[in-house]
Amino acid sequence: MDEADRQLLRRCRVRLVRELQVASLWDVLLSRQLFTPAMIEDIQHAGSGSRSDQVRQLVIDLETRGSQALPLFISCLEDTDQDVLASFLRMSRQEEKQNPEAVRPLNLRPVVLGPMGLTPEDLREKTGPLKSTPRKLAPVVLGPEQLWPAKLRPEVLRPEVPRPVDNCSDVCAQEISKQNPDLAYALNADPCGHCLIINNVNFCLESRLTARTGSNIDCEKLQRRFRLLHFTVEVKCDLMAKQMVQALVELARRDHSGLDCCVVVVLSHGCQASHRQFPGAVYGTDGCLVSIEKIVNIFNGASCPSLGGKPKLFFIQACGGEQKDHGFEVACASPEDRTSGSDPESDAVLFQEGPGSFDQPDAVSSLPTPSDIFVSYSTFPGFVSWRDTRRGSWYVETLDGVFEQWAHSEDLQTLLLRVANAVSQKGIYKQIPGCFNFLRKKLFFKM
């Protein structure tokens, strides 16, 4: 919060203590992400827990909530029909913005604190005009350097909050999301779920598909990454199409009731395929296809009731088709991103409109059938997905790096946006990952 807003709050403190009604504010302050639930609880228990003590602590803490704290607080007042106070603060703020010369530092005269650290203004609010008392009180004189608000209330001992940085509001929003079961999935179990990686590298001669050199590098990275994210990881290599389906069905038939999530990763060749819901198909080592649609539907409610209402994540490293994207010219293409030795393969189909539903009803009847599903594709349908024979695929290499740096603080969709942006800037040919997101909440991995 800038100094002008801070001074305005302090000058209006007496009126706020006298008029502000906090009971209706708590939910709005949370929804606007001004405070976390823990901070709200601290404010509610400030001092004696009375309304006036809560207001005093609210004003003190509001100074630590970033540059937009005061405008957001004014909006909260309007949302709770406290329009008189909202108009008073808004007009006062506008006047100071229009006449900055009138904004002067607070009068830093010594402050004399009475019993319990209360100022004369506080005592007047609680007891009316000050009355003389036979007991002599030794005044406590504070100089300007001691006027940090947290020190003016010795009865509420709380650690000092450092001045906010630019991303404070984002951090607060993430913490609120993680703690709120209505906003984020709970991934509390340890392990939090199963992760199956199907890694097809070597294909039979009849399939006319080349070996996917470099895929083992992808597999090792993902195996390590999901173990660090508290998943039990199982790897199956070089499966024919029927074996792929069998492995997926076996995973779906397990009891997931004590787990919170499930992950499936497919590393293979692919091609375009007709579809109703999810584009694309991947090859078994025998050259036969398994559609992404079928892979996803194996985990619907009828086949896997113990995963009902829980997130099911699918990561597909395969091509979306045979088109090579030359991109379009933009400023600054980094020379080091021009990767050599890549090996393209194809899968998937162009996005089609139309309703599309799962073959079987979801086990949780109160939820939409396609809910709690997230399918991440390495490339846009119809286009090539690039793989370096020495470093692995662009998509998996970037996914692993982004998860390592950001998975402790960001939700899945934000992580995949970072992946898409980084991959889109690589190489002479271009590639853009994408996803089908049918999650109902944010997903933060367990760290």
* Structure confidence at residue 445 (pLDDT): 95
* Structure confidence at residue 261 (pLDDT): 97
Q: Is 326 exposed, middle or buried (0-12, 13-18, 19+ CB in 10 A)?
A: exposed
Of 141, 103, 75, 129, nearest to 11 (Cα)? 103
| Lowest model confidence (mean pLDDT) among 42-51, 185-194, 203-212 | 42-51
Tell me the average pLDDT across 223-235: 96
Tell me the average pLDDT across 179-192: 88
* Structure confidence at residue 424 (pLDDT): 82
* Structure confidence at residue 150 (pLDDT): 41
Percent of the chain with pLDDT over 90: 33
Residue 301 banded pLDDT, cuts 50, 70, 90:
confident
Q: What angle do CA 299, 301, 304 make, to 5 degrees?
A: 55
CB 262 within 8 A of CB 256: yes
Instruction: Answer yes or no: is pLDDT of 185 > 70.
Output: yes
Question: What does the alpha-carbon distance between residue 352 and residue 129 come to, in Å, rounded to a whole number?
Answer: 75
Top pLDDT among 74 and 341 is at 74
* Structure confidence at residue 216 (pLDDT): 94
Question: What does the alpha-carbon distance between residue 423 and residue 69 come to, in Å, rounded to a whole number?
Answer: 36
pLDDT digits (tens, 9 = 90+) for 62-84: 888 888 888 888 988 988 989 88
- Find where tokens 């004003």 sit: 59
Residue 74 token pair: 């004014």
Residue type, 136: K
* Structure confidence at residue 397 (pLDDT): 92
* Structure confidence at residue 99 (pLDDT): 72
The model's pTM: 0.55
Helices 69-79 and 3-11, axial angle in degrees (round to 10) = 40
- Find where tokens 């579809």 sit: 275
Q: 3-class SS at 243?
A: helix
Instruction: Answer yes or no: is pLDDT of 254 > 50.
Output: yes
Beta-bridge partners for 111: 142
Number of other CB atoms surrounding residue 129 within 10 Å:
7
State the first-to-last Cα distance of the chain, in angstroms, to the nearest integer.
Answer: 32
* Structure confidence at residue 139 (pLDDT): 56
Please tell me whether the peptide bond between 110 and the residue prior to it is cis, using omega within 30 degrees of 0. no
Residue 336 banded pLDDT, cuts 50, 70, 90:
very low
Number of other CB atoms surrounding residue 396 within 10 Å:
26
Question: What does the alpha-carbon distance between residue 385 and residue 218 come to, in Å, rounded to a whole number?
Answer: 14
Let me know if 230 is a catalytic residue: no
Which distant-in-sequence residues (6+ apart) come within 8 Å of 394 by Cβ?
339, 342, 378, 385, 386, 387, 388, 423, 426, 427, 431
Phi, psi of 393 (to 5 degrees): -75, 150
Which distant-in-sequence residues (6+ apart) come within 8 Å of 402 by Cβ?
415, 418, 419, 422
* Structure confidence at residue 152 (pLDDT): 40
Question: What does the alpha-carbon distance between residue 92 and residue 421 come to, in Å, rounded to a whole number?
Answer: 43
Domains of the chain, CATH where assigned: 3-179 (1.10.533.10), 193-438 (3.40.50.1460)
| Lowest model confidence (mean pLDDT) among 126-130, 169-173, 286-290, 307-311 | 126-130
Instruction: Answer yes or no: is pLDDT of 179 > 60.
Output: yes
* Structure confidence at residue 355 (pLDDT): 34
CB 388 within 8 A of CB 211: no
CB 319 within 8 A of CB 380: no
Question: What does the alpha-carbon distance between residue 390 and residue 432 come to, in Å, rounded to a whole number?
Answer: 21
| Lowest model confidence (mean pLDDT) among 250-254, 296-300, 441-445 | 296-300
* Structure confidence at residue 13 (pLDDT): 86
Question: What does the alpha-carbon distance between residue 122 and residue 372 come to, in Å, rounded to a whole number?
Answer: 53
Number of other CB atoms surrounding residue 264 within 10 Å:
23
pLDDT digits (tens, 9 = 90+) for 355-373: 332 222 222 234 545 579 9
| Lowest model confidence (mean pLDDT) among 129-143, 235-249, 258-272, 413-427 | 129-143
Q: Is 186 exposed, middle or buried (0-12, 13-18, 19+ CB in 10 A)?
A: middle
Question: What does the alpha-carbon distance between residue 292 and residue 300 come to, in Å, rounded to a whole number?
Answer: 13
Percent of the chain with pLDDT over 70: 69
Instruction: Answer yes or no: is pLDDT of 348 > 80.
Output: no
Question: What does the alpha-carbon distance between residue 408 and residue 446 come to, in Å, rounded to a whole number?
Answer: 8
Let me know if 319 is a catalytic residue: yes
Which residue among 261, 269, 275, 304 is the active-site one?
Answer: 269
Task: Select the highest-mean-pLDDT range: 76-90, 168-182, 217-231, 432-446.
Answer: 217-231
* Secondary element (H or E) of residue 434: strand 434-438
Number of other CB atoms surrounding residue 401 within 10 Å:
15
Number of other CB atoms surrounding residue 120 within 10 Å:
13
